[in-house]
Amino acid sequence: MHADPDCIFCKIVAGQVPARKVHECDDLVAFHDIAPWAPVHILIVPKKHIVSMAQVGVDHQAMLGRMMMLAPKLMHDLGVTGGFRQVINTGVDGGQEVNHLHMHVMGGPRPWRKG
């Protein structure tokens, strides 16, 4: 599996940096965001290092589908019943802060609206 030794998410995937994981399977890991914007704020991250959505290809379709399907399951498991947001920031102008593809999944009672 491709990894970037300087990437914080790759280090979490490798177990070198601790995280409050809520899911792990062959190709994805999900964990609580360390700077949450909502009462429940998790990140779903591919284990393979992919910089952003700008670098995905047809070979990533199944993994992206699993990310999308995992979000509602995890929100349900974490007690979010009133709705949630799924956000993927891409590139500097898109607000991406970590150069490893990841999806923010945020839910829980408002007022957590930041953007």
Q: Which residue ranges form the domains of the chain, and what is each CATH number? A: 8-107 (3.30.428.10)
- Residue 112's identity, in one-letter code, is W
User: What pLDDT score does 115 carry?
Assistant: 55
List the pLDDT tens digit at each of the 115 positions of the chain. Answer: 578 989 999 999 999 999 999 999 999 999 999 999 999 999 999 999 999 999 999 999 999 999 999 999 999 999 999 999 999 999 999 999 999 999 999 998 765 555 5
Of 41, 49, 100, 102, the active-site residue reads 102
User: What pLDDT score does 20 carry?
Assistant: 98
User: What pLDDT score does 2 carry?
Assistant: 78
Q: Which two tokens stand for residue 67?
A: 């990310």
Q: Say what the alpha-carbon torsion angle 23, 38, 10, 66 is, to the nearest 10 degrees.
A: 50
**pTM assigned to the model:** 0.93
Q: Is 102 an active-site residue?
A: yes
| Total residues belonging to the chain | 115
Distance of CA 79 to the CA centre of its chain: 18
